[in-house]
Chain A
C-alpha cells in the first residue's frame, strides 16, 4: 500500500458525528410482537377501526411468512437472523398533552434536532423548507403547516392524517405497496407507528421543499415509518428525507414503506439523504435499512423521480421503483450508494412500464471502499401494452482500494417489441494516477479523493434540491474518510 493510501486510511477513524443519544423519558411498550402489541400501537394512536383491521390483516400475513421463513434471501447481503421478538415496536418521547405549538415541544428534542442541523423553530428554518420531524416512533413536530394549509397542501404526520383525512388514507394506503408485497412491507404495515403524509391538491405547485427528518434514539427499538405522498392532477411537490441514529453496538432494524401516487400531469421529486449509523469500522452495530419505496405514475404525463444518496446503515436493502401506468409517464432513479468499512448495500430500482410511450431513466453510482460490498440490482420491465417505451440505464461503480466489491445485476424483461433500451455500465478504480495528478497540484490526499468521488457522483447530485446537494457532498466526503487502502 502506498503512503498516499495510508494517509487516506488514517482518515477512516473519523467518527460518526450524529451518534449521540438524547436523554429523554420514553413511553415504550414491551418487547415482542403479537396481536396484542398491534392493538396496543393502534390504541395508543387512537386509530379508527379500519386502521386496526388493516394492521391485523397485515400482521396475520406476516406471521405466515415468518413461519415459512420467507424473509427475502436473494439480496447480496449477509447478516445473522433477526429475532423479531427481541424488538420494541413502539417508543415515543413522553408527552403530557397534545402540542399546540412548537414552543411546547420538549427542549431536549428541540436541541437534538438543532444539533443535527435541523432547527425546528420556524424563525431559524431554511426559508423554503418545511420539516416534519420523526423521533423514534412518532412525529414530534411539523413546521410551516399553516402556511401550506392556506394553499391546500396537507403536510402532517401520518397519525394526524389518519385522524383528519381518513378518506385519503383509506383510498391510497397500500395502493402502491400492498402488505403482501414483501416480508418487511408486511411487518411495516402491521406495526408502523408514524411517518409523513402529503397531499398536494389539483394544480398546486408546492412552494416549499417538504422534508422529513427521521431520528432513531431509543435502544432496542425498530423504526417503522410509513410515508404516503399524493400529487393530485397537475400538481408538483419536492420532498426530501434525512435520517440519523445514535452509535450503538447492536444492530437496529429500520423497515419503512414509502408510497407515492402521481395523478394526471403531476410530478413528485423524492430525495433521500440516508445517513443511519453505519456501524463501527470493524462492522459492529449499525442500522439494517430494509425499505420498500415505490411510486405509481397513475395519471397520464405524470412523473416520479427518486434521488438517493445512501451513505449510512450497516446494510441497505432498497429499490425505489416506479410503476409507469399512465401513458407518457416518466420514472427516474438517480442513486449514489457508498459502502465503506464493512457496510453492505444491495440497492437499485424497478421500472415497470405499463402505459404507452412511458420513459424511464436509471443512473446508479456505487462507491465501494474498505471492505464494503455494493450491489446494484435493477429491473426494467416493459409490458405488452407499453407501446413505444424507452429506458436508459447507466450504472457505474467506483472501487477505492482492493478489499471491497462491486456487483451489478440488471434484469430486463421486454414484452413489446417497440421498446428501446439502452444500457451502459462501467467499473473503475480510483486511479493512483488521478490521485497523484491532483496532489501534484497541491491538494491533500483526502481532498483529492473526495474531489474524484464527488466528480463521479455529479450526475446524481445535480438532481438534488440545491440546499441538499452541498450537504450530500460533505456527507460523502466524511463517509469516505479513511477509505483508501
Chain B
C-alpha cells in the first residue's frame, strides 16, 4: 500500500476549477518534487492535502496509509502524520514558540495514545533540533513567527517539522526567501529527516534546492494538471527550457512554440 494515493482529484475555489484531475502515488521513503508556473495549483494541492477548508472537492479521492484523507479535519490529518511547511507562515502574537510547539507535539501524541511530554523532557529534544537548524535560542523566546524575517520563518517551519516527525512532509516553496547558507542548513535539516518510513512532497520553482534535496521523482504541474513526470533530471531540463516546454498541446493556447519544444523535450 502506498503512503499517499491521489486519484483524479478535482478541486474548485470560489467556483473556479483549480485542480483538474491529479493522479499521484507516493510511497514511503520517496521524495517527490512538484514544479510548475505561478498559479498552476501547487499550493492548492498542498493545502488540500493538509485539509484546509476553503476548497471544494468535486471529484476524486486521496488516501493516506489507506485512510480517506479527504474525510479528515486539518488537525486529524496533522495527527495522522501530514505536515505542511507553509509558503507563507502566519504570525501569531502572544504565543511563545516553545509553548506552541510543545502543545502541538502533545496534541499529536495524545491523538496517538502516547504520553504527553512535560517541559523537562521536551527541552532536550527542542535544543537538539534548534542546533540541527542552527537557530538562535533568542528567536524562540519571541512570539510565533512574529517579526521573523522571511528566512527565519521558513527555518522555523522546518524546525517544527523536525520535532513533529511527520509521515508525509509537504514543503511549499521552503527555499524561497532563504539565503545561500540558510538554504544549505535547511536542506541538511530536511535530509536528516529522510528515512524509509517518511515521504516528502517538495514544491519548488528552482532546481537549486533539488541539488541539496535530491528527489526521486519530479512532476510538472501546469494549469491544474500534472503534465509531465520524470526523474531528477527533469528539473534540470525544466530550468533550461522553461515550463512552456512541458505544457501539453491542448493547454498551449497562445503558446505557439510550445508544441514543437515539447516534442524536442520528449525525445531528450
Contacts and interface: CB of A to CB of B under 8 A. Distances in A.
Contacts of A207: none
Contacts of B86: 437, 440
A334 to B, nearest CB: 14
Contact of B78 (A440, A455, A457, A459): A440
A433 B107 CA distance: 19
B74 A455 contact: no
A42 B101 CA distance: 59
A444 B90 CA distance: 18
Which of B52, B79, B108 has the most chain A CB atoms inside 10 A of its CB? Answer: B52
A444 B103 CA distance: 11
Interface string B81-97: 00110100110111100
B137 interface: no
B73 interface: yes
A447 B107 contact: yes
A7 B83 CA distance: 22
A440 B84 CA distance: 7
A432 B104 CA distance: 18
Contacts of B105: 442
B164 interface: yes
Given A452-B95, A455-B92, A457-B94, A442 B100 contact: no
A434 interface: yes
A114 to B, nearest CB: 29
Interface in B95-132: 95, 100-101, 103-105, 107-108, 111
Given A437-B89, A444-B107, A454 B94 contact: yes
Contact of A3 (B53, B77, B104): B53
Q: How large is the interface on B (under 10, 10 to 19, 20 to 34, 35 or more residues)?
A: 20 to 34
B79 A2 contact: no
Contacts of A433: 90
Interface string A419-450: 00000000000011110111111111101000
A379 interface: no
A432 B84 CA distance: 16
A447 B103 contact: yes
B50 interface: yes
Nearest to B106: A442
Given A434-B90, A434-B92, A445 B75 contact: yes
Given A444-B107, A451-B103, A2 B54 contact: yes
B78 A436 contact: no
Contacts of B79: 442
B74 A440 contact: yes
A431 B53 CA distance: 13
Contacts of B73: 3-4, 7, 439, 445
A358 to B, nearest CB: 29
Contacts of B89: 437
A150 to B, nearest CB: 39
A305 B236 CA distance: 64
Nearest to B47: A436
Contacts, number: 84
A442 B94 contact: no
B207 interface: no
A147 interface: no
A437 B92 contact: yes
Nearest to B108: A442
A30 interface: no
Given A442-B79, A442-B164, A451-B103, A436 B74 contact: yes
A92 to B, nearest CB: 43
Q: How large is the interface on A (under 10, 10 to 19, 20 to 34, 35 or more residues)?
A: 20 to 34
A444 B73 CA distance: 9
B248 to A, nearest CB: 33
A436 B143 CA distance: 17
A443 B75 contact: yes
Contacts of B108: 442
Given A3-B73, A442-B111, A431 B90 contact: yes
A104 B86 CA distance: 63
A403 interface: no
A335 to B, nearest CB: 16
Given A3-B53, A451-B100, A442 B107 contact: yes
Interface in B127-181: 143-144, 160, 164
Nearest to A435: B74
Nearest to A454: B94
A151 B114 CA distance: 52
Given A3-B73, A451-B103, A455-B143, A437 B94 contact: no
A442 B104 contact: yes
Interface string A137-164: 0000000000000000000000000000
A4 B53 contact: yes
B148 to A, nearest CB: 13
A400 to B, nearest CB: 14
A196 B97 CA distance: 42
A455 B94 contact: yes
B53 A442 contact: no
B90 A443 contact: no
B14 to A, nearest CB: 13
Contact of B75 (A439, A456, A457): A439
Given A3-B53, A440-B84, A451 B95 contact: yes
A452 B92 contact: yes
Contacts of A440: 50, 52, 74-75, 77-78, 83-84, 86
B53 A443 contact: no
Which of A3, A451, A452, A456 has the most chain B CB atoms inside 10 A of its CB? Answer: A451
A458 interface: yes
B95 A455 contact: yes
Given A2-B53, A432-B54, A443 B95 contact: no
A437 B77 CA distance: 13
B55 to A, nearest CB: 11
Given A3-B53, A451-B103, A456 B94 contact: yes
B164 to A, nearest CB: 7
10 contacts: A3-B73, A432-B54, A436-B53, A439-B78, A440-B75, A441-B164, A442-B164, A443-B104, A451-B92, A455-B92
Q: What are the 3 tightest A-B residue pairs by CB atom distance, in nearest-first order?
A: A455-B94, A441-B104, A458-B94
Given A440-B75, A442-B107, 11 more contacts: A2-B53, A437-B86, A437-B89, A441-B104, A441-B160, A441-B164, A443-B75, A443-B103, A454-B94, A456-B94, A457-B94
